[in-house]
């Protein structure tokens, strides 16, 4: 049984999950965070459910080495594709970003029409649709894949950029036409474009930031099990990436809202090695 001083481990295909870490730091300031960004294989959003599940298994295996009390899949694609298959197989509680976002949207909508935007894989997986329908089957859902938003954010563009404005206008049109009153940001990169999304959708529409909702869910899990870490001085978070740690540290600032400090490279062989051993055992 892990103690309340054990860390929270977070993984994502790359940088996006840092928006979840940002909210965790706000909501749970006593927690030590271990973050892994799988930048050697980013993005997960255009890959098959099988491949994403395999990647997520390897990410989780790596993070278990830090004896976390909770592991967060801070990646909509991994949460959508892999968590349902991995739930129960992992000794540590697992939490994704899809359920918290879906729950918040159902709570917030007044007219029963919810829009969901995400990567191709997240939208194709239908996970938000299922999750929302499980909570309230009367709700109408309009989902739209927005494959350009991640590269736009990673290129450093913000809501004021004319290309970002044009792309948002095009992507959000079907959501506006359907008259949704709530939009779920179904990708951890999207909180960085919240001002632009709010502007296109209009002030009457509520934006559900799944990063924020996930931090709340993590807090609930820890409170329920009496494992919230007390506020403490000298907390040292650790960041790992499977490729390009300098690029990760440089771009990561904008996602985290502060400096990351040192980002360590995880030799991708380590991840592949674990897998190769498993494959060898199966064969």
In angstroms, the CA 196 to CA 157 distance is: 11
Shortest spacing between CB 18 and a second copy, in angstroms: 16
**Contact yes or no for 130/168 (Cβ under 8 A):** no
Q: Is 42 in the site for a second copy (CB under 8 A)?
A: yes
DSSP secondary structure code for residue 6 in this structure:
S
The Cα-based distances of 80 to 74, 129, 165, 229, 252 in angstroms read 11, 11, 28, 29, 23
Query: Would you say 15 or 207 has its CB closer to a second copy?
Result: 15
Shortest spacing between CB 131 and a second copy, in angstroms: 24
- 87: how many CB neighbours lie within 10 A of its CB? 11
Residue from 95, 131, 187, 274 carrying the catalytic annotation: 187
**Contact yes or no for 34/60 (Cβ under 8 A):** no
Q: Is 148 in the site for a second copy (CB under 8 A)?
A: yes
* Residue written as token pair 């590269």: 151
95 is an active site residue? no
Q: Is 40 in the site for a second copy (CB under 8 A)?
A: yes
**Contact yes or no for 114/140 (Cβ under 8 A):** yes
Q: Is 249 in the site for a second copy (CB under 8 A)?
A: no
146 is an active site residue? no
Q: Is 254 in the site for a second copy (CB under 8 A)?
A: no
- Residues designated as active site: 75, 187
List interacting residues with a second copy (CB under 8 A). Answer: 39-42, 46-48, 51, 54, 147-148, 151-152, 154-155, 162-163, 166-167, 170, 243-244, 247, 268-269, 272-273, 275-277, 279
């Amino acid at each position: 049984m892990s103690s309340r001083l054990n860390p929270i481990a977070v993984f994502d295909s790359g940088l996006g999950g840092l928006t979840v870490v940002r909210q965790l730091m706000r909501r749970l300031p006593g927690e030590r965070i271990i973050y892994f960004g799988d930048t050697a294989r980013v993005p997960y959003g255009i890959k098959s459910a099988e491949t994403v599940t395999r990647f997520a298994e390897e990410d989780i295996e790596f993070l278990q080495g830090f004896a976390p009390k909770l592991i967060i899949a801070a990646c909509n694609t991994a949460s959508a594709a892999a968590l349902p298959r991995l739930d129960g197989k992992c000794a540590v509680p697992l939490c994704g970003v899809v359920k918290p976002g879906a729950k918040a949207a159902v709570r917030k909508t007044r007219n029963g029409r919810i829009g969901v935007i995400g990567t191709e894989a997240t939208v194709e997986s239908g996970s938000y649709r299922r999750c929302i329908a499980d909570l309230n089957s009367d709700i109408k859902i309009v989902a739209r894949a927005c494959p350009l938003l991640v590269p736009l954010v990673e290129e450093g563009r913000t809501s004021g950029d004319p290309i970002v404005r044009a792309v948002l206008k095009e992507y959000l049109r079907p959501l506006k036409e359907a008259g949704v009153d709530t939009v779920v940001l179904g990708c951890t990169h999207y909180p960085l474009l919240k001002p632009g999304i709010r502007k296109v959708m209009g002030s009457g529409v509520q934006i559900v930031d799944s990063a924020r909702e996930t931090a709340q869910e993590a807090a609930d899990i820890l409170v329920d099990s009496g494992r919230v870490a007390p506020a403490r001085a000298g907390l040292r978070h650790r960041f790992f990436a499977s490729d390009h740690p300098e690029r990760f540290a440089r771009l990561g600032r904008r996602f985290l809202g502060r400096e990351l400090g040192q980002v360590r490279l995880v030799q991708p062989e380590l991840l592949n090695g674990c897998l190769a051993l498993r494959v060898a055992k199966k064969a």
